Amino acid sequence: MNISQISVKHPPRVAMLLIVLLVFGLISVFNMNIEFMSDISLPTIEVLTFYPGSGAKEIEKDITNILEKEFITLPNFSSISSSSTNFVSWITITFRDGIDPDEMLEEVRYRIRNLTDSLPLDLSNDPVAVVGNASMLPVFTFSISGGQDITELSEFVENNIVPNITKIKGVGEVSVMGSREKEVRVQLRVEDLYTQKISAIEVMQAIQNSNVLLPLQTTNYHGKETILQFDGRVDSITSLKDIIVGINASGSLVTLNEVADVSIELQKPNMYIDGKQTAAIVVDISKRKDGNTIEIANDIKTFLQGPLFSPSSPYSIEVISDDSATVKASLFTVIRSGLFGMLMATVVMLFFLADIRATLTIALSIPLSILFTLIGMKLFNISINIMSLSGMVIALGMVVDASIVMLEHIIKEYDEHPEEDVDTIIIRGAKVVSSPILASTTTTIAVFVPLSLLTGIVGSILRDVSLTIILSLCASF
């Protein structure tokens, strides 16, 4: 018994299948990720190292070459490229297609830690490894201003805004720009250093060696094993000023306060951000690869309208950029084009078939094919984006081809044998054209299969289009 016989002889089963298709199609829509474009970046990790005061040759020899020799042995390694300039080493590690760079990030960082002893000691920071892809770009940016001063505003952002936004589902990273915190500043007095016969290097080493927490040994205290520690950490300005930095010519101990001015001041800003003639801070939010841009933006807006920013709050918020608006507008344009295409296809069918019932019967296959396609997109982890929706729009005309051929032949059979049973005519007519329809649909699908298997950036762009067309054509049969 073929599909046509089942459809004709068991209409309740077909109706149940259509209901199941409708339910699962709607479930797929509401649980799929929505974004402007699918991730089209290569699986790469960027490693940046800053070495102040060094030239490009020193960077290449002392940092880049050492790191490259270690990275080429990474699992699933594909290629590596680097750039060594004054003060900066930039290495890009590319992995094989299909590898999640987030899973390789910890391995890269582990290997960097193992190379610490091989790298120069006076690096400004350890090499920084980050995943390099389009999801690093912010999807939502806003500024915040208000409060008594920039220090209070910075503390409010770090303690209240950043933790709450980080908890939002799909958020990858929250970056803060323009904040300023207090720091302890030690300004050496050159004349006093010369008088006390102490060098600046000795002062730096004394501060580093004094601000430590060292384990000593374990001991038993009231029947319990306790670890003894030497706590030499600096916890106040006074204790910092009292650190012994050396011995002068007369043999007296010299404290830091005798050769330097110690104070608590604001950090020197690396950028200035002003909002409405007051200091402001800008917050950038980027999403994870599986993050939903629209849901993230809606959750952030809900938080920014919460009790922390009530009318009585001293802080004011201004949204700078919101990618969800662009995503909504773009998707709406494609959906509108698709609906207009469905209408035009229906009008064209009505013009040639000259039968409203037949036209509506064939037109019904379009939404059913879309529902089937959405279920397939969910299974293949394809998001709703410009490319996938474009694939469905392209396939709109194709999905009705089989229905037109099938219905036209059944009508022809009915006109030639009006005395026969309708069910028999439908089964016979469907049986005659099933093989040609299958061959036609299969050959069209075969064209798009190689496109769906392409690798690299081109493959990432064309994958969603080709797969949605394939799914739509499968549904049409």
Cβ(372)–Cβ(475) below 8 Å:
yes
Query: What integer pLDDT is reported at residue 277 of this predicted model?
Result: 64
Q: Find residue 175's DSSP bridge partners.
A: 284
Say how many C-beta atoms besides its own lie within 10 A of residue 171's C-beta.
19
Main-chain phi, psi angles of 187, to 5 degrees: -110, 110
Site of tokens 């309740």 = 12
Q: Which residues of the chain have pLDDT under 70?
A: 1-5, 8, 124, 133-136, 213-216, 221, 228-232, 269-277, 477
User: The pTM is what?
Assistant: 0.68
Residue that is written with structure tokens 């309708």 in the block: 422
Q: Write the pLDDT tens digit of every residue in 262-315.
A: 888 777 766 666 666 677 888 999 888 778 888 899 999 999 888 888 888 888
pLDDT score recorded for residue 311: 80
pLDDT of residue 29: 80
pLDDT at 147: 72
Residue type, 120: P
* 426-453 pLDDT per residue, tens: 777 777 777 888 888 888 888 888 888 8
Backbone φ, ψ for residue 385 (5° rounding): -145, 180
